[in-house]
A and B are shown apart, each in its own frame.
Chain A
Amino acid sequence: EDKVVQSPLSLVVHEGDTVTLNCSYEVTNFRSLLWYKQEKKAPTFLFMLTSSGIEKKSGRLSSILDKKELFSILNITATQTGDSAIYLCAVAGTASKLTFGTGTRLQVTL
């Protein structure tokens, strides 16, 4: 069975800190790894990674995939209170099935 494990489960940081969120996976027929941010409602898409070693960047957020070691990290620099959310990692395997991790709950305080 496909498995995605995220760590830490929760994290509290001060505004301005840099955080690294981890995601490791075991999946049959890996196709891609995705990061989502979930605030109060639906998850919103952040990144999709398919190739090892290529960093994807969007503003203060960046992510990279290591297909040999089967993990990905999501970095957020200069955190702001608006970054407070649950960050979900998901891996796409066979038949477009997305397997989600349990998420990392990030809280950014003033």
Chain B
Amino acid sequence: SQQGEEDPQALSIQEGENATMNCSYKTSINNLQWYRQNSGRGLVHLILIRSNEREKHSGRLRVTLDTSKKSSSLLITASRAADTASYFCRAGNMLTFGGGTRLMVKP
């Protein structure tokens, strides 16, 4: 079974708005990673949050991790058209990814 599942599957917002996507997982992990994919090419690592961290920031990205609920969220603030992409989470060292969240930011 897949370890990380993202929701929503798709999200459409206007430029300047915030985008929030969620990831749920099933077993204990030591970290969780978020990746971004443009145009069906390779994924790019965005941010890693460890199990002993509750929140982490990187530029306009804010990631939270709730190990009691086995969930994480990725918030992109002040979104830009260039943020349009698919976003995936990876729970720990799992071999599988979820289906991703397809984000569209309209200019």
Decide whether A and B are members of one complex.
Answer: no
